[in-house]
């Protein structure tokens, strides 16, 4: 993932640095144990506080400004606005778990910002972490060649993006709207704004 597409470009331009850390490297035993059975019984395993605290403290070092983000189904819903906020941070530490989740003392002691990418179940926090990374990195100034494209993407203004068309003008009985080939930039801008609003109302009433 980090060697492809936008993350790769960001690293090549030396605008973003990534570090991947394994919680097992911070385990208290030689076996690399990072989880245990939950008190009170129940299915699954819970991530131990010790390795997580040691990992976060080591990664942060003396930089208390590094924002800690925990990927959790209980977190706030991730959005484009959330991505903008995270993109303004100097450093981000993304904490992704597995199993039944984190020992509650991790939340109480480290006070992470909890983020969820949606109301569905995944095997672990790795995929949500990659979603957050991709969304945030593309917002770092200079990463994308065309900064204007970032502004026009879906959700950048809280609405979906307008429809796009390219060649040919006619395809299987479907035509490109005349306004897009009119050369009238004012009309085109108005059409795009109207279509974006119409699409948002129809598809995303929320």
Is 76 a residue whose pLDDT tops 60? yes
The full set of domains in the chain, from first to last, is 5-137 (3.40.1280.10), 159-203 (1.10.1270.20)
Q: pLDDT tens-digit profile of 85-100? A: 999 999 999 999 887 7
Is 158 a residue whose pLDDT tops 60? yes
Q: Say what the pLDDT of residue 65 is.
A: 85
In 10 A of CB 119, how many CB atoms? 7
- Range list of β-strands (E), the chain: 35-36, 46-47, 67-77, 92-95, 113-116, 170-171, 174-175
Q: Say what the pLDDT of residue 204 is.
A: 83
Q: Say what the pLDDT of residue 205 is.
A: 76
Q: Which residue has the higher pLDDT, 149 or 107?
A: 107
Is 153 a residue whose pLDDT tops 70? no
Backbone phi, psi, residue 32, to 5°: 75, 35
149: Cα separation from own chain's centroid: 18
Q: Once rounded to an integer, what is the mean pLDDT over residues 123-134?
A: 94
Q: Say what the pLDDT of residue 121 is.
A: 87
Q: Say what the pLDDT of residue 98 is.
A: 81
Q: pLDDT tens-digit profile of 2-56? A: 999 899 999 999 999 999 999 999 999 999 999 999 999 988 899 999 999 999 9
Q: Say what the pLDDT of residue 136 is.
A: 98
- The model's pTM is 0.83
Strand partners, 68: 93
């Amino acid at each position: 993932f980090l060697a492809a597409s936008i993350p790769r470009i960001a690293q090549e331009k030396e605008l973003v640095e990534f570090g991947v850390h394994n919680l097992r490297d911070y385990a208290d035993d030689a076996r690399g144990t990072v989880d245990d059975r939950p008190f009170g019984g129940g299915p699954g395993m819970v991530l131990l506080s010790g390795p997580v605290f040691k990992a976060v403290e080591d990664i942060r070092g003396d930089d208390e400004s590094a924002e800690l983000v925990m990927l959790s189904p209980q977190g706030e819903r991730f959005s484009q606005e959330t991505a903008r906020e995270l993109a303004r941070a100097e450093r981000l530490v993304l904490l992704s778990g597995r199993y039944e989740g984190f020992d509650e003392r991790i939340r109480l002691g480290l006070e992470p910002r909890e983020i969820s990418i949606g109301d569905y179940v995944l095997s672990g926090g790795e995929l949500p972490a990659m979603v957050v990374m991709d969304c945030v990195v593309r917002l770092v100034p200079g990463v994308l060649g065309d900064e204007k494209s970032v502004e026009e993407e879906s959700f950048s203004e809280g609405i979906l993006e307008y429809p796009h068309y390219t060649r040919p003008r006619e395809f299987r009985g479907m035509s490109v709207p005349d306004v897009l080939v009119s050369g009238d930039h004012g009309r085109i801008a108005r059409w795009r704004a109207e279509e974006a609003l119409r699409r948002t109302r129809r598809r995303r009433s929320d």
